Amino acid sequence: MTARRLALSLLNVSGKAQETIAHLVAAGQLFGIEPSSMRMAVGRLMKEGLLVNAARGRYELGTKGQAMRDRLRGWRDALDRTKPWDGDWLAVHTGHLGRTDRKQLRSRTRALKLSGFAEAVPGFWLRPANLVGSLREQRHRLVALGLDEDALVARIAEFDSDLGFDPSALWPTDILEPRYKEAIAAMAESTQRIPHLPAAESARETLLVGQTVLHTINLDPLLPQEIIDQTLLKRMIEDMRAYNALGLDCWQQFYADVDAPQPA
């Protein structure tokens, strides 16, 4: 857990619009992050436009961080973003775009992977067209997440079977299902431990477990039932709703302890 990742995580998933530097510093210490390192990370995030100074000692997500926040906070309704699949595919062509700008390349790749695309061949990304919204809306979402404005976005009805190419094989379904099971088990085990832990340890554990599960949900390609059984994904999301509420309670208690007057 880096200072940068922790600061963004707390503002992305806590549900709070703002956070104090005192809370960020205290949270950092739970993960062995020095106060100076957290303050330096906050300063860098402000320079990048990911955080802004809302008031003295208080920070909130900047414009550049809001699209990512909205995407990350959408995990609760992830399956609501899908619709029955008609067999068509969404395609994004990036082969004509440069690769020398490493920062933009990372942004491009992140936007596509966050949206469930897999790279079929270099510069040609695919996903089932089972997401709610028009092609134009899909493009706007991708650009908001970091895709280049000049990327080509299209809808494809079929592939030439003579190519021997099976698009549905691009996603490792044999890996995805075990990940769902691991996430479900981790939340269940942690939920049993939390009542017996001090507030600081509870906050730390729920963040670590919760971030792992949210990473699994937010990076899930949201494949249609025709490609993967969605039963475990649905259960993981349902369990995460309850675990998230538990985690928020743990962090509220931790912050209350941080804000409590210290004995003289």
> Could you tell me if 209 and 261 are in contact, meaning their C-beta atoms sit under 8 angstroms apart?
no
Instruction: State the Cα–Cα distance between residues 58 and 54, nearest whole angstrom.
Output: 6
Q: Considering only CA atoms, which of 146, 224, 216 is closest in space to residue 183?
A: 216
* Radius of gyration, CA atoms only, the chain: 20
What whole-number percentage of the chain has pLDDT above 70? 95
The model's pLDDT over 80-89, given as tens digits with 9 standing for 90+, comes to 999 999 999 9
- DSSP labels, 125-137: EEEES-BSS-HHH
Instruction: State the Cα–Cα distance between residues 130 and 90, nearest whole angstrom.
Output: 9
Instruction: State the Cα–Cα distance between residues 199 and 156, nearest whole angstrom.
Output: 52
The model's pLDDT over 44-62, given as tens digits with 9 standing for 90+, comes to 999 988 898 888 889 988 8
pLDDT above 80 (res 17): no
User: Is residue 95 classed as helix, strand or coil in its secondary structure?
Assistant: coil
The residues, any chain, with a CB within 8 Å of residue 226's CB and separated by 6 or more, are 85, 168
- The reported pLDDT for the residue numbered 220 is 93
Mean pLDDT of 5-31: 87
Mean pLDDT of 172-180: 93
Torsion angle of alpha carbons 214, 188, 175, 129, nearest 10°? -50
CB neighbour class for 255 (10 Å; exposed up to 12, middle 13-18, buried from 19): buried
CA angle 117, 79, 246 (to 5 degrees): 115
What whole-number percentage of the chain has pLDDT above 90? 71
Instruction: State the Cα–Cα distance between residues 170 and 166, nearest whole angstrom.
Output: 8
> Could you tell me if 62 and 52 are in contact, meaning their C-beta atoms sit under 8 angstroms apart?
yes
Specify the DSSP element, H or E, that contains 230: none
pLDDT above 90 (res 182): yes
Mean pLDDT of 199-203: 96
Mean pLDDT of 98-117: 90
pLDDT above 70 (res 94): yes
- The reported pLDDT for the residue numbered 71 is 66
Instruction: Return the sign of the alpha-carbon dihedral for residues 129, 131, 137, 139.
Output: negative
- The reported pLDDT for the residue numbered 76 is 87
Helix 63-73 with 3-13: angle, nearest 10 deg: 60
Terminal Cα distance for the chain, rounded? 33
Instruction: State the Cα–Cα distance between residues 3 and 39, nearest whole angstrom.
Output: 9
